Amino acid sequence: MQTRYSFGGDEHVYIELDEAMSLEAFFKGLSLTNAIRDSRIAGVTEICPANASALVKFDPDKIAPDDLLKELKSLEAAAEKAEPVIDTRVIEIPVFYNDPWTHETLMRFRERHQDPKATDLEFAARVNDLPSADAFIAAHSGSPWFVSMVGFVAGLPFMYQMVERQRQLEVPKYLRPRTDTPKLTVGHGGCFSCIYSVRGAGGYQMFGITPMPIYDPKQEISYLKEFMIFFKPGDIVKFNPVTREEYDRDLEEVAAGRFYPAIRKVTFSLDAFQQDPTAYNAALLGGA
């Protein structure tokens, strides 16, 4: 689709790059938002990239709205020619799937669910034509996930599965949102996985929980001292299933200030990935 620009009040421009999320839309948006940032347009105060769109905040006393639109459209033309390659990182996230805390929570809210007699994992397995919850966990943790945006609540990553579209796991959200979701729940809604950075309301299916904090406004956690939010758009996530004993051990390491996530720097090429996603993922995760 052709990029659509619209004004949001007096101080925002909304840029819609595509009607559906895709890695192509993400890379186009990343190139454009990076170009806007690097151009240092007078009056632009904030840039917020999303899955297939972006929001630009500006000061209308410093730049006229129509002048900003001209600048943005000029940058879009240049961004479309950018090579879809980024330097990023592969992050291993431990996940205690089918844990007792999300299980207790999901059972409290069964009347809001499509299938009150099944757990979220059992329901997710069935709607994806998988034989069991264990098979769904294997599919969920078996391929990497691309962080396409961070937000909604502070530090929450939206993650897009890096497989062919027909293989993507898809699960509908709850019929009505819950009023409670445990902190650090690994959830799923539509085609997106996420990690709830804080405890609160939510409507995504709940599959497990990670011991690894991803948001620390006090910046006291060992790997969050420089910045309170862990994830960045473009990060690649590998979910690693862990046992209760491993989960408890990691919690102790976090409390003692000794836990550091496994991170590797990589260069990701969209063109190379699209040629053979399975082989590319295998090479990408070879050190994981």
Q: What is the mean pLDDT of residues 34-62?
A: 93
pLDDT score for 24? 87
Q: How confident is the model at residue 81 (pLDDT cuts 50, 70, 90)?
A: confident
CB 272 within 8 A of CB 125: no
4-82, which class in CATH?
alpha beta
pLDDT score for 51? 86
What kind of fold does domain 87-284 have according to CATH? Cyclophilin (2.40.100)
CB atoms within 10 A of CB 139: 18
Q: What is the mean pLDDT of residues 129-138?
A: 98
Q: What is the mean pLDDT of residues 48-77?
A: 93
Q: What is the mean pLDDT of residues 22-49?
A: 90
Q: pTM of the entire structure?
A: 0.91
Q: How confident is the model at residue 288 (pLDDT cuts 50, 70, 90)?
A: low
Q: What is the pLDDT of residues 91-130, one digit of tens each?
A: 999 999 999 999 999 999 999 999 999 999 999 999 999 9
Nearest-angstrom CA–CA distance, 279 and 288 = 15
Q: What is the mean pLDDT of residues 218-243?
A: 96
The domain limits of the chain are 4-82, 87-284
Residues of the chain with pLDDT > 90, as a percent, come to: 84
SS3 sequence of the chain: CCCEEEEECCCEEEEECCCCCCHHHHHHHHHHHHHHHHHCCCCEEEEEECCCEEEEEECCCCCCHHHHHHHHHHHHHHHCCCCCEEEEEEEEEEEEECCHHHHHHHHHCHHHCCCCCCCHHHHHHHHCCCCCHHHHHHHHHHCCEEEEEECCCCCCEEEEECCCHHHCCCECCCCCCECCCCCCEEEEEECEEEECCCCCCECCEEEEECCCCCECCCCCCHHHCCCCECCCCCCEEEEEECCHHHHHHHHHHHHCCCCCCEEEEEEEEHHHHHHCHHHHHHHHCCCC
Q: What is the mean pLDDT of residues 57-70?
A: 95
Q: What is the pLDDT of residues 233-286, one digit of tens each?
A: 999 999 999 999 999 999 999 999 999 999 999 999 999 999 999 999 999 888
Residue in 19, 22, 27 with CA at minimum distance from that of residue 2: 19
